[in-house]
Amino acid sequence: MTKVRVKICGITNRTDALRAVESGADALGFLFYPASPRYLAPERAREIIRRLPPLLTTVGVFVNETAPNVTAVREFCGLDAVQLHGEETPEFCRSLPGKVIRAFRLRDSADIAAARAWETDAWLFDSYVPNRPGGTGARFNWDWLQQASPLPRPFLVAGGLTPQNVGECIRAVRPYAVDVSSGVEDEPGKKNPEKLIRLIAAVRAVPDDA
């Protein structure tokens, strides 16, 4: 089993971006959803991304944006992938160039089965909170993923992950990656350096065959 990757989402400044990279993050997420407290304007995201080291994956997060706008921001910022957290259809996802991650907010295990209609490069499973597309800090029932295994796509787990429970999550469901935002923050958009270090250390401490 290959190592579980770590994506730190909701990056809003260069200091946090570099701290996440130095702590061992594999990917960074930038939110282009104006209603989010972690929103970052494309111009600012581009400045940060251009100063990141090579071989790091950058992901743009969008909610119910138009395909031309998603593509334009992707190209302008130099993003490696896009992550969609709204009501984007399978057809919409297929229309986008490059790597696409489709997020699903889980109410129950049936939502995992429904995800199979989206043949994107990866899926992301998050917690369902009414009127909140993500970043809630709420955890869903990981047993649902165990029951649905094996899945035909690489998948990321988000929702309520912290340095204290991320190892438990990995042992339970063996995701392709974990996606963490509020679990390493002091407040929305402000990452805590010690939490970053402890979270990524907890991920790396899980044996590949656990």
Q: Is 209 part of any domain?
A: no
**pLDDT at residue 73 tops 80:** yes
Our measurement of the distance from residue 63's CA atom to the centroid of its chain's CA atoms, rounded to an integer in Å, reads 13
pLDDT value of residue 5: 98
Model confidence pLDDT, tens digit, residues 81-120:
999 999 999 999 999 999 999 999 999 999 999 999 999 9
**pLDDT at residue 2 tops 80:** no
Residues 105/86, Cβ–Cβ less than 8 Å: no
Q: Is 18 part of any domain?
A: yes
Span between the terminal Cα atoms of the chain, in Å: 9
pLDDT value of residue 135: 60
- CATH code for the domain of 79: 3.20.20.70
Q: Label residue 49 exposed, middle or buried (CB < 10 Å: 0-12, 13-18, 19+).
A: buried
Higher pLDDT, 149 or 43: 43
Domain count, the chain: 1
Domain that holds residue 110: 5-204
Model confidence pLDDT, tens digit, residues 35-72:
999 999 999 999 999 999 999 999 999 999 999 999 99
Q: Is 44 part of any domain?
A: yes
Q: Is 165 part of any domain?
A: yes
Q: Label residue 50 exposed, middle or buried (CB < 10 Å: 0-12, 13-18, 19+).
A: exposed
Q: Is 210 part of any domain?
A: no
**Cβ atoms < 10 Å from Cβ of 64:** 12
Our measurement of the distance from residue 40's CA atom to the centroid of its chain's CA atoms, rounded to an integer in Å, reads 15
**pLDDT at residue 187 tops 80:** yes
Query: Coil, strand or helix: which one is 117?
Result: helix
9 catalytically annotated? yes
Residues 77/45, Cβ–Cβ less than 8 Å: yes
**pLDDT at residue 122 tops 60:** yes
Residue of 9, 77, 93, 169 marked catalytic: 9
126 catalytically annotated? yes
Residues 182/188, Cβ–Cβ less than 8 Å: yes
Mean pLDDT of the chain: 94
Q: Is 178 part of any domain?
A: yes
Q: Is 81 part of any domain?
A: yes
Residue of 16, 26, 126, 179 marked catalytic: 126
**pLDDT at residue 79 tops 90:** yes
Strands (E), 107-153: 122-127
Q: Is 9 part of any domain?
A: yes
Euclidean distance between CA atoms 60 and 42, whole angstroms: 10
pLDDT value of residue 90: 98
pLDDT band at 128 (very low <50, low <70, confident <90, very high): confident
DSSP per position, 17-64: HHHHHHHT-SEEEEE--TTSTTB--HHHHHHHHHTSPTT-EEEEEESS
